[in-house]
């Protein structure tokens, strides 16, 4: 088992550090000489052009990938996207028609809720596509076509590299739709594609760098509650960061849309509350996030911001800042989640917990 961990103390840490490779393999030859070659959605371009709606169904961490996917697909390809938790969607008598593409995301391909939802979608006549990391898994037999992430085997119960691989693949799906539907200028499409291609390198740069994650973990590992905030593409990052901490450290967490904080979670804040804020560059929401940080600070809570390299302004607002490499807005999700995975990891280790196999959780949930 030690050999399989390749010198890392746990599978989770190994898998966090494997993210540059997981993303590089997933992009693979789908981006060739600056051109996007994405086969596997399984329908003609004409069908993609006429799509009226996309529904993305999933559970757990894969659900957070779906939330991120919606922002990219709607912005770049201008198709309305609805995402839902598979176990909710299936029991609400969903409305579907043949002009809807239904995407099921499941790392393992074995999550019962997601499989049942995809079966129902197919019965209702929608075209179904699975995004999974496992060849030959159950979900691949229940859908019309399959797109694989190529993250390699993930052993740790808490997902890490499969999440960033899912995000990267969803960005390619969004760009494919934009290409076919001609919703992005050629130069912009090429620019974003090139930036997707650079993600593995930027992930590596972050992982090789020095960041204040250990100090932050030391200061806060005994705190009773953490709040995570984000807006737009920062929201799924906050959701995933909060899930990671909850899963492996057993600290209660809440993740919220930063704009919604004033309608509830603000009541939870005091001098003892660490608040993790995803404050990466996004021209439409950055200023709003800064005012949310000020609201948090005014209640005496401690702000840990995730920001983009070169952003000095944030230092005037946050108590701690962890910087990630610069990248266009949506792609920052792939980079911004890494410090949150590492923060959760360090806190769980300081609490002396079994990170790879947290209590009560299973890697694959094959019951409804």
Is 363 considered catalytic here? Answer: yes
**Least distance from ligand G6P to the Cβ atom of residue 269, Å:** 28
Q: Which helix (H) or strand (E) holds 278?
A: strand 274-278
Q: What is the C-alpha to C-alpha distance for residues 203 and 334, in angstroms, rounded to an integer?
A: 8
Applying CB under 6 A, which part among 41-49, 152-160, 248-256, 305-313 lies near ligand G6P?
152-160
Q: What is the C-alpha to C-alpha distance for residues 207 and 338, in angstroms, rounded to an integer?
A: 8
Q: Which residue is nearest to ligand G6P (CB)?
A: 60
Specify whether the CB–CB gap between 121 and 55 falls below 8 A. Answer: yes
Specify whether the CB–CB gap between 59 and 45 falls below 8 A. Answer: no
- Does position 193 bind ligand G6P by CB under 6 A? no
**Least distance from ligand G6P to the Cβ atom of residue 138, Å:** 10
* Binder of ligand G6P out of 19, 26, 114, 280 (CB under 6 A): 114
Q: What is the C-alpha to C-alpha distance for residues 331 and 72, in angstroms, rounded to an integer?
A: 9
Q: Is 104 helix (H, G, I), strand (E, B) or coil?
A: strand
Angle at which helix 332-350 crosses helix 234-249, to 10 degrees, equals 20
- Does position 365 bind ligand G6P by CB under 6 A? yes
Site string for ligand G6P, 25-64 (x = CB under 6 A): ----------------------------------xxxx--
Residue with tokens 């996004």: 282
Q: What is the C-alpha to C-alpha distance for residues 229 and 217, in angstroms, rounded to an integer?
A: 18
- Does position 112 bind ligand G6P by CB under 6 A? no
Q: What is the C-alpha to C-alpha distance for residues 277 and 33, in angstroms, rounded to an integer?
A: 36
- Does position 108 bind ligand G6P by CB under 6 A? yes
Q: Give the chain's length.
A: 368
* Binder of ligand G6P out of 72, 77, 102, 158 (CB under 6 A): 158
- Does position 207 bind ligand G6P by CB under 6 A? no
How many residues at the interface with ligand G6P, by CB under 6 A?
17
**Least distance from ligand G6P to the Cβ atom of residue 165, Å:** 11
**Known catalytic residues?**
363
Residues contributing to the site for ligand G6P (CB under 6 A): 59-62, 106-108, 111, 114, 157-159, 361-365
């Amino acid at each position: 088992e030690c050999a399989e961990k390749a010198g890392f103390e746990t599978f989770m840490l190994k898998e966090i550090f494997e993210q540059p490779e997981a993303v590089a393999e997933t992009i693979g030859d789908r981006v060739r000489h600056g051109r996007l070659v994405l086969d596997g959605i399984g329908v003609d371009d004409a069908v993609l052009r006429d799509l009226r709606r996309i529904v993305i169904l999933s559970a757990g961490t894969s659900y957070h990938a779906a939330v991120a996917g919606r922002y990219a697909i709607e912005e770049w390809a201008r198709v309305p996207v609805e995402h839902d938790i598979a176990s909710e969607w299936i029991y609400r008598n969903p409305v579907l028609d043949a002009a809807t593409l239904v995407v099921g995301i499941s790392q393992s391909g074995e999550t019962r809720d997601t499989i049942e939802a995809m079966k129902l979608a197919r019965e209702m006549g929608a075209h179904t596509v699975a995004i999974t990391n496992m060849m030959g898994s159950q979900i691949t037999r229940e859908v019309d076509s399959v797109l694989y992430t190529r993250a390699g085997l993930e052993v740790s119960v808490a997902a890490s590299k499969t999440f960033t691989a899912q995000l990267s693949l969803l960005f390619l799906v969004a760009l494919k739709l934009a290409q076919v539907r001609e919703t992005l200028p050629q130069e912009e499409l090429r620019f974003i594609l090139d930036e997707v291609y650079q993600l593995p390198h930027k992930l590596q740069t972050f992982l090789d760098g020095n960041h204040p994650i250990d100090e932050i973990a030391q200061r806060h590992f005994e705190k009773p509650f953490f709040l995570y905030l984000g807006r737009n593409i920062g929201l799924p990052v906050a959701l995933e960061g909060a899930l990671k901490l909850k899963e492996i450290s057993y600290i209660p967490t809440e993740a919220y849309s930063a704009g919604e904080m004033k309608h509830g979670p603000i009541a939870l804040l005091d001098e003892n509350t660490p608040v993790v804020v995803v404050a990466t560059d996004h021209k439409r929401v950055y200023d709003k996030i800064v005012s949310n940080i000020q609201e948090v600070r005014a209640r005496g809570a401690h702000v840990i911001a995730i920001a983009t390299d070169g952003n000095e302004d944030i230092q005037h607002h946050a108590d701690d800042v962890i910087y990630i490499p610069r990248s266009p807005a949506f792609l920052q999700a792939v980079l911004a989640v890494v410090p949150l995975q590492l923060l959760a990891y360090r806190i769980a280790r300081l609490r002396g917990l079994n990170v790879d196999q947290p209590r009560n959780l299973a890697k694959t949930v094959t019951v409804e």
